[in-house]
Amino acid sequence: MISINWTGIVTFFGTDDLEKVHNFYHNTLNLPLYKDQGACKIYQIPGDGLLGFCQHLETNSKYKSPIITLLADDVDQAYNNLVSMGYSPYSKPKLNPDFNIYHFFINDPDGYSLEIQKFLD
């Protein structure tokens, strides 16, 4: 077993347009910019996680995977805010009894599946 004091996590994704991604994640979703590295921008996720996008990495959004999931207390408000800003989620928020969640999906600017979700248990 490795004995290390882990201090956090950053998950990186490729992007074709760093400024478009910044507008979506920072200006639209209101995620704080944690660090701007020039070729990469890293955003703070509640709970000490970090989400990064880099223009030198290839995008991989052909399929529904990977899925970026943001947890929200009010899924309906997130949905209504995105729709009022002109975004088009796949469908309205709905209950998924298999996983006991309430959620909806939308594509981010690079085509990644973004899920806004609330655990119901």
Q: What is the per-residue pLDDT across 18-49, written as a single tens digit (0 to 9) for each?
A: 999 999 999 999 999 999 999 999 999 988 88
Is the pLDDT assigned to residue 1 strictly greater than 90?
no
pTM (global) more than 0.85: no
Q: What is the DSSP string of 50-107?
A: EEEEETTSPP--SSS-SEEEEE-S-HHHHHHHHHHTT---SS--EEETTTTEEEEEEE
Q: How confident is the model at residue 9, as a pLDDT?
A: 81
Q: How confident is the model at residue 110, as a pLDDT?
A: 87
Q: Chain centroid to CA 77: how far?
A: 16
The one-letter code for the residue type at 14 is G
Q: Token pair of 27, please?
A: 């200006």
* Residue 18 DSSP label: H
With beta carbons less than 8 A apart as the criterion, state whether 70 and 116 touch. yes
Q: How confident is the model at residue 2, as a pLDDT?
A: 67
